[in-house]
Structure 1
């Protein structure tokens, strides 16, 4: 998505109305289409690069699949942003990664084992600046909440 369409989607996604509806609509649609296409299509990836994270649940120990926007880096790593669409609490998948950093992402039809690391300090600040360049609505999400939005870096593991 480019130009005017992208700016319109960014403006809409920064609204409180979007933040109320999106957590119920976007992941359900993404999970369904991703499953039906054998991991080849993720509708939300029309706005941002997307992957499906599979991580062990912190409380249940069961695998949890969550479609997420991600930011691939030139180094072969990915950034995941725990924005929760600007809602007050951290998304559950971030607690799962904190407890179980060994995970898997489905990226462009491939399942890749990864290890997640929560970013902090200067490393987080650099990642946050890079993410805001690509998707400015994250600034609106951060402005609505008192918590610091979590950023994870995923690195492929053997």
Structure 2
């Protein structure tokens, strides 16, 4: 296992515990963007997996996530999980949303990418680090419920 992976897992577990424990009030924003807690189902294990991500676009109709993994040549595990099981949950602004995930393609991806890099130029730097096209994931709301 790469040191990057070990550090990522440790920091993610700490942030997730604080974020979910505070219902998103702590660590609710980063780099000027809202933070979401994403809950996927593991493609191999079938277990719930939780991670925190910034959402450059988050409104009532959709949430856009960037599967950049810091410009790594691999897709992040959360992205591989939601491709296998696209029905996921996100915690955003104190509410849990059940959403369906899909990868934006074509003109939609181009338009979203242009907006995303205006919001946070770091994503463009990540794209330059890798040969893979960094996926833009669109989460579309299915239902909404308050956190317990």
In the superposition, relative to structure 1, how do residues 152 and 21 fare at CA in structure 2: closer, same or farther (>3 Å)?
A: same
Q: Answer yes or no: is the 8 Å Cα contact 1:79–1:153 preserved in 2.
A: yes
Distance 1:153 1:107 in 2: 14
Equivalent positions of 1:147-158 (< 5 A) are 147-158=132-143
Higher helix share: 1
Q: Find out whether 1:132 has 2:130 as its counterpart.
A: no
Q: Deviations over 1:8-33 (max 9, x none)?
A: xxxxxxxxxxx899735652442131
RMSD of aligned residue pairs (Cα, Å): 2.2
Q: Find out whether 1:46 has 2:30 as its counterpart.
A: yes
**How far is the alpha carbon of 1:42 from its aligned partner?**
1.9
Q: Which 4+ runs in 1 deviate beyond 6 A?
A: 19-22
The partner residue of 1:95 within 80, 83, 97 is 80
Higher strand share: 2
Distance 1:120 1:146 in 2: 17
Which consecutive unaligned segments of at least 5 residues does structure 1 have?
A: 1-18
Distance 2:59 2:91 in 1: 18
Which consecutive unaligned segments of at least 5 residues does structure 2 have?
A: 144-148
